């Protein structure tokens, strides 16, 4: 089980635990997926390989449902390989 000081290293388990009832920030994704930095999220967006996001002014946000679908797709790809 994850704590505030120890990020969850199993993103599907984190998603099963429930996502916040708000749009996610790039920092939220860094925490959820134990990424090295926010720059990784922005690289995913540039390469179109991460969860879909959208801009609100100058800020990027992610719909929790879209993130959950993206994780399910990644899990399905891993299972098929």
Phi and psi angles of residue 61, each rounded to the nearest 5 degrees, phi first:
-130, 160
Does some domain include residue 5?
no
d(CA 70, CA 58): 23
Q: Residue 62 corresponds to which tokens in the numbers above?
A: 């992610």
Does some domain include residue 3?
no
The reported pLDDT for the residue numbered 1 is 42
Does some domain include residue 6?
no
Instruction: Decide: 12 and 71 in contact? Cβ < 8 Å.
Output: yes
- Tell me the CATH number at 18: 1.10.10
In the chain, how many domains are there? 1
Q: How confident is the model at residue 75 (pLDDT cuts 50, 70, 90)?
A: confident
1-48 tens-digit pLDDT: 444 445 455 655 655 666 778 999 999 999 999 999 999 999 999 999
């Amino acid at each position: 089980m994850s704590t505030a000081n120890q990020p969850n290293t199993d993103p599907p388990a984190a998603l099963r635990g429930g996502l916040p009832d708000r749009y996610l920030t790039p920092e939220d994704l860094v925490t959820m997926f134990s990424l090295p930095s926010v720059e990784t999220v922005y690289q995913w967006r540039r390469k179109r390989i991460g969860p879909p996001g959208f801009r609100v002014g100058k800020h990027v946000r992610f719909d929790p449902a879209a993130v959950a679908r993206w994780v399910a797709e990644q899990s399905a790809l891993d299972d098929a390989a």
